[in-house]
């Protein structure tokens, strides 16, 4: 049996070694933590939207469903007028952004300044200057959007709308990512959210194609650094647009919104990209480069986010351009299906049903024309009636009334010619009805000639020839009989001589 340990012995034997080991272990852990901190830096400070500031004195204010508008004194219009002009567009734009990004938690605060001087003073401390400055700036420091009203009003309506949509997209992207969206994705999506302008989109494609041909293609690392690469702003914007277009075309806007939302809790955009798309960023970028020839030679014409706007399709339907409307609606259906927007899908299905009716009506009109060209007047009239019924289902507004009237007149004229020809044949059986039969055949022939119906014209001419030949035979017969009678009478008079009963001689 071991003797009990005294306190000094206990200290030397057990307690001191344990404490020393604990101290060493603590130092080792601290060293590992330090190494880990150097290997994986902390997330950058997120930059969420600041709360609304107090509106300065003298500003007029107005509210829309999704925005608070504040207009500085000295501006060409007050807040109510600006809201009337642009409120619906702002509300629609924010609703569209909410459809694929994390919903914006508050109303948009828009500050409107009278001119470039006031605008410049208000935005001098902006943390996110635009690559290509314009009359609208997102996150200017006070509020969510700052607008240079004088420059904004000088722009065309489409330019002004796109400036607003570009700025609103920046605000929504930065809010959804808590300020961590990389520059390339931020700029590219803001540009992609604008209403498509074919000339601008073609310019993006040309700049990317030129860079690719010259070996100057910007990498995704170049595009997504905090500071822009050493390139012209237009080239940076074109590359960013092409990158975002690739992601939306590949997996839809919803997946890209998921990526941007995930950035709010993860600083490394490459890690978020891998997690969201289940592919290594290097692999995704290689696929993008491989896809660029297709995109630069025509793929740039497609902007799926334009599918939010159903008005172009409605306008095309109203004008009777059903095939073009259906192409627009197919793009919208792809977008709304990606976003699981049941209300939008229902609207599109209703519009597609109208295009189906319109296309069927157009097909029937084409078949009517073909039947008229083949001089099948009965079928043409039947098909035209079906086409009119389809147009009536559309409300009759889109019906080509002039064409319908022409086709109806031609089919009636053809049917009347057929009736006249049949009547001529029926009347031709009686000698006494010759004048009526000949007139009916003449009417049919004239109608067929007007219609360009050579077969019908020849039939009418054949009936007339038969009638005329028969009439000629009758005339010749009657004439022959008359001559024969005269000859017999003359012979009789010559041959009888003097009358034996002529007692006078």
Range of weakest confidence among 204-213, 252-261, 306-315, 479-488:
479-488
Band of residue 467 on the pLDDT scale cut at 50, 70, 90: low
Give the closest residue to 160 by CA, choosing from 222, 90, 224: 90
Cα–Cα distance for residue pair 193/439, rounded to 1 Å = 72
Q: Tell whether the model's pLDDT for residue 318 goes beyond 80.
A: yes
DSSP for 347-362, written as a single string: HHHHHHHHHHHHHHHH
72-124 pLDDT tens trace: 999 999 999 999 999 999 999 999 999 999 999 999 999 999 999 999 999 99
154-164 pLDDT tens trace: 999 999 999 99
Band of residue 206 on the pLDDT scale cut at 50, 70, 90: very high
Band of residue 53 on the pLDDT scale cut at 50, 70, 90: low
DSSP for 233-261, written as a single string: HHHHHHHHHHHHHHHHHHH-HHHHHHHHH
pLDDT for 500 = 57
Band of residue 440 on the pLDDT scale cut at 50, 70, 90: confident
HSE-CB for 310 with a 13 A CA cutoff: 19
pLDDT for 32 = 38
Band of residue 473 on the pLDDT scale cut at 50, 70, 90: low
Range of weakest confidence among 5-19, 128-142, 262-276, 284-298:
5-19
Q: What is the mean pLDDT of residues 144-159?
A: 97
3-state secondary structure 209-223: HHHHHCCCCCCHHHH
250-290 pLDDT tens trace: 999 999 999 999 999 998 999 999 999 999 999 999 999 99
The helix/strand/coil state of 232 is coil
Band of residue 151 on the pLDDT scale cut at 50, 70, 90: very high
pLDDT for 333 = 93
Q: For residues 187 and 155, is the Cβ–Cβ distance under 8 A?
A: no
DSSP for 269-338, written as a single string: HHHHHHHHHSS-HHHHHHHHHHHHHHHHTTGGG--GGGGG--HHHHHHHHTT-HHHHHHHHHHHHHHHHH
Q: Tell whether the model's pLDDT for residue 246 goes beyond 90.
A: yes
β-strand pairing of 143-148 with 136-141:
antiparallel
pLDDT for 36 = 36
pLDDT for 391 = 84
Q: What is the mean pLDDT of residues 433-442?
A: 76
Q: What is the dihedral of CA 466, 448, 363, 393, to 10 degrees?
A: -110
Q: What is the mean pLDDT of residues 51-77?
A: 89
Token duo for residue 329: 């609606």
pLDDT for 101 = 97
Q: For residues 266 and 155, is the Cβ–Cβ distance under 8 A?
A: no
Band of residue 20 on the pLDDT scale cut at 50, 70, 90: very low
Band of residue 480 on the pLDDT scale cut at 50, 70, 90: low
Band of residue 30 on the pLDDT scale cut at 50, 70, 90: very low
pLDDT for 7 = 40
Give the closest residue to 114 by CA, choosing from 92, 134, 135: 135
pLDDT for 27 = 40
Token duo for residue 434: 């010759």
pLDDT for 171 = 97
Specify the higher pLDDT residue, 262 or 477. Answer: 262
pLDDT for 477 = 62
Range of weakest confidence among 431-440, 449-458, 495-504:
495-504
Q: Where are the domains of the chain?
A: 47-157, 177-307, 310-399, 415-479
């Amino acid at each position: 049996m071991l003797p009990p340990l005294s306190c000094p012995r206990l200290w030397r034997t057990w307690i001191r070694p344990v404490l020393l080991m604990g101290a060493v272990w603590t130092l080792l852990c601290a060293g590992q933590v330090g190494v880990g901190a150097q290997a994986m830096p902390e997330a950058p400070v997120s930059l969420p939207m600041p709360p609304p500031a107090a509106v300065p004195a003298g500003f007029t204010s107005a509210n829309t469903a999704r925005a608070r508008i504040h207009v500085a004194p000295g501006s060409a219009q007050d807040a109510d007028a600006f809201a009337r002009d642009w409120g619906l567009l702002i509300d629609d734009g924010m609703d569209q952004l909410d459809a694929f990004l994390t919903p914006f938690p508050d109303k948009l605060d828009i500050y409107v300044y009278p001119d470039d001087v006031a605008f410049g003073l208000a935005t001098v401390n902006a943390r996110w200057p635009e690559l290509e400055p314009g009359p609208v700036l997102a996150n200017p420091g006070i509020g969510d959007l700052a607008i240079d009203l004088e420059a904004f009003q000088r722009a065309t309506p489409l330019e002004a709308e796109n400036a607003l949509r570009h700025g609103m997209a920046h605000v929504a992207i930065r809010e959804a990512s808590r300020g961590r969206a990389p520059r390339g994705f931020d700029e590219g999506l803001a540009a992609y959210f604008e209403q498509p302008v074919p000339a601008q989109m073609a310019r993006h494609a040309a700049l990317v194609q030129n860079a690719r041909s010259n070996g100057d293609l910007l990498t995704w690392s170049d595009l997504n650094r905090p500071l822009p690469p050493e390139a012209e702003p237009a080239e940076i914007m074109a590359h960013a647009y092409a990158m975002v277009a690739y992601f939306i075309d590949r997996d839809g806007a919803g997946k890209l919104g998921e990526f941007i939302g995930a950035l709010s809790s993860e600083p490394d955009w490459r890690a978020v990209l891998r997690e969201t798309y289940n592919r290594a960023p290097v692999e995704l970028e290689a696929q993008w480069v491989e896809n660029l020839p297709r995109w630069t030679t025509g793929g740039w014409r497609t902007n799926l986010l334009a599918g939010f706007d159903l008005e172009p399709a409605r306008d095309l339907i109203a004008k009777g351009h059903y095939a073009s409307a259906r192409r627009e609606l197919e793009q919208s259906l792809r977008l709304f299906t990606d976003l699981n927007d049941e209300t939008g899908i229902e609207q599109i299905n209703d519009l597609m049903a109208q295009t189906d009716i319109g296309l069927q009506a157009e097909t029937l009109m084409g078949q009517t024309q073909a039947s008229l060209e083949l001089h099948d007047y009965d079928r043409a009239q039947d098909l035209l009636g079906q086409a009119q019924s389809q147009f009536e289902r559309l409300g009759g507004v889109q019906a080509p009334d002039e064409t319908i009237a022409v086709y109806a007149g031609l089919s009636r004229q053809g049917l009347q010619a057929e009736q006249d020809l049949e009547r001529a044949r029926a009347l031709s059986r009686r000698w006494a009805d010759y004048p009526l039969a000949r007139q009916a055949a003449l009417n049919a022939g004239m109608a067929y000639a007007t219609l360009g119906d050579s077969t019908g014209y020849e039939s009418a001419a054949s009936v007339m020839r038969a009638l005329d030949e028969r009439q000629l035979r009758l005339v010749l017969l009657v004439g022959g009989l008359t001559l024969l009678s005269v000859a017999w009478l003359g012979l009789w008079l010559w041959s009888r001589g003097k009358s034996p009963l002529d007692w006078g001689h």
